[in-house]
């Protein structure tokens, strides 16, 4: 009998931390099912993604460690997915610890440590330095520095 592992995520700005988590989850069983949050579901959570759902689910589907990628369309689908896929394990990153303990009535719930020093939030915060308002601020600062340098020439 296959040991099915189920997880979910947005997987925006896919990075090494995502890959590490998915590989560790796959190592817990024989078959890894990954729910990828749809754009509509993310909007309902107040999240805006950079990468579209179609591209994110394609990326996840192509990973060697992932056996099946499915859309995650609501919080409520988790119990049904556990039953539908006969999941033995539900796994998430430890930042979700306690949030999915209600699934313990249906399967084992595991929270794995996240990869230190990398996250989509960190990447998005870094990219904010390149948004238009920051670019304008940088241009103004450069103009000011240039005018000061010209005075000393």
Residues 73 and 54 in one domain: yes
| Number of folded domains that form the chain | 2
pLDDT of residue 117: 62
> What's the CA angle centered on 125, arms 22 and 59, to 5 degrees?
30
Residues 24 and 41 in one domain: yes
Q: Is 45 a catalytic residue?
A: yes
**Domain span including residue 139:** 119-153
Given the residues 2, 40, 45, 139, the one annotated as active site: 45
Residues 101 and 124 in one domain: no
Residue 44 has which token pair? 């309902």
Residues 103 and 128 in one domain: no
Q: Which of 29-33, 70-74, 142-146 has the lowest mean pLDDT?
A: 142-146
Given the residues 2, 23, 40, 47, the one annotated as active site: 47
Residues 87 and 142 in one domain: no
Residues 26 and 90 in one domain: yes
- pLDDT greater than 60 at residue 126: no
The pTM assigned to this predicted structure is: 0.78
């Amino acid at each position: 009998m296959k040991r099915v592992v189920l997880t979910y995520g947005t997987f925006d700005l896919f990075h090494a931390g995502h890959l590490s988590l998915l590989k560790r989850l796959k190592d817990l069983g024989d078959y890894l099912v990954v729910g990828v949050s749809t754009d509509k579901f993310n909007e309902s959570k107040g999240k805006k993604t950079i990468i579209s759902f179609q591209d994110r689910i394609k990326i996840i589907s192509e990973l060697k460690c992932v056996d099946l990628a499915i859309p995650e369309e609501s919080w409520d689908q988790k119990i049904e997915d556990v039953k539908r896929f006969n999941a033995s394990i539900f796994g998430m990153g430890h930042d979700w610890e306690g949030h999915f303990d209600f699934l313990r009535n249906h399967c084992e719930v595991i929270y794995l440590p996240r990869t230190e020093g990398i996250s989509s939030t960190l990447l998005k915060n870094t990219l904010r330095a390149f948004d238009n308002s920051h670019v304008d601020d940088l241009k103004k600062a450069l103009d000011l520095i240039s005018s000061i340098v010209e005075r000393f020439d």
